Amino acid sequence: MAISIKRRIFLKGSLAASAVAMAAGTGLLTPRAVLAAWPKDAFAAKAMPDALSALLGVTDAAKSGDIKVTAGDSGEARDGGQVKVHVETAMADVTRIAILAPGNPFPLLGAFDLGDGALGYAETRVKLAKSGDLIAVVKAGGKLYSANTSVRVVSSGCNS
Amino acid sequence: MSTIRLKAVANGDVVTVKALIVHPMQIAVEKDEKTGQPIPAHFIEEVVCEHKGQVVMTALWSQAISKNPYFSCKFKGGAKGDLIKLSWTDNTGQSDSDEKPIE
């Protein structure tokens, strides 16, 4: 008798555990996925206004002299597969920095979401298909600003 | 072996985090020149950098981020010895993470 009671408790326990596992599996217990879901539509957009609209809800952002954006070595990239991109701004309340290359098949290269205490800064390396503009869009205080730089690509990064 | 090389350095009140990740960052190819077969995309979608459990930066990446990608961010409020955690997840569900104290 005692054995069968224990068995019942065990079964109850494992049922509860599997319910939690199911909830986690369906995303019910992953709040971070809601905060920063990978923006599939923005990355799949083939034109810059579509990418911006999917990512930030606008098709254009005001130009700002307070954003510093550089690409390659003084604007030149021998290897289009490894182009250094640097974005920096002293604006307050920066929450997102996006980098785009209108000359790429999919213009949106990446987006950087900043938490509390983060400085308005992002740096990475990207693949560029051809020479052209590299655009940084900064969301600060709920408003959008942009800056661009041109980069000359010697060898396309399409195959890397 | 970790796929992540992580370094965080405090300079005054600003901490600079730099990381290199070993990853192919493969773009989708319709037809491979040699084999004639399609190559599926394989790239990191998300990199999260945390300081004491607080997210400093979440990078959302496309397949246009370079192979063996480079990540960097800067923040205020960190002190030498605090742990910095970096984790990544790719489009196939693979992931890795690493922790280092601020130097």
For chain A, which residues make up each domain, given as ranges?
A: 1-36, 40-155
| Cβ–Cβ below 8 Å for B75 and A119 | yes
Q: Would an 8 Å CB–CB cutoff place A127 in contact with chain B?
A: yes
Gap from A90 CA to chain B (nearest CA, Å): 12
| Cβ-Cβ contacts under 8 Å, B76 against chain A | 117, 119
Q: Which residues of B touch A108 (CB under 8 A)?
A: 62
A109–B65 CB contact, under 8 Å: yes
Question: What is the value of ipTM here, to two decimals?
Answer: 0.95
Residues of B in contact with A113 (CB under 8 A): 57-60
- Does A122 contact chain B (CB < 8 Å)? yes
Q: Which amino acid, A74?
A: S
Query: By the 8 A CB rule, do A80 and A107 touch?
Result: no
Mention the CATH class of domain A40-155.
mainly beta
Q: Across the interface, do B73 and A111 touch by the CB < 8 Å criterion?
A: no
pLDDT over 90 at A52, yes or no: yes
Question: In residues, how long is chain A?
Answer: 160
Burial letters B4-43, b for 16+ CB under 10 A, else e: bebebeeeeeebbbbbbbebebbbeeeeeeeeeeeeeebb
- pLDDT reading at A12 higher than 60: no
Provide the percentage of residues in chain A whose pLDDT is more than 90: 69
Q: Over the stretch A23-45, which tens digit does the pLDDT of each residue have?
A: 444 444 444 444 458 999 999 99
Burial class (CB in 10 A: 0-12, 13-18, 19+), B98: middle
pLDDT tens profile A87-139: 999 999 999 999 999 999 999 999 999 999 999 999 999 999 999 999 999 99
B69 touching A (Cβ < 8 Å): yes
pLDDT confidence band for B32 (50 / 70 / 90): confident
Mean confidence (pLDDT) of chain A: 84
The pLDDT of residue A32 is: 42
Sequence-separated (6 or more) residues with CB below 8 Å from residue A153:
A72, A77, A80, A83, A128, A129, A130, A131, A132
Identify from B14, B26, B60 which residue to disrupt to test chain A contact, counting A C-beta atoms within 10 A and taking the largest count.
Answer: B60
| pLDDT confidence of residue B34 | 87
Cα B17 to Cα A144: distance, rounded to the nearest angstrom: 26
Looking at chain A, list the stretches that DSSP marks H as alpha helix, in order from N- to C-terminal side.
Answer: 2-25, 31-35, 40-44, 48-56
Under a CB-based contact definition with an 8 Å cutoff, are residues A157 and A109 in contact?
no
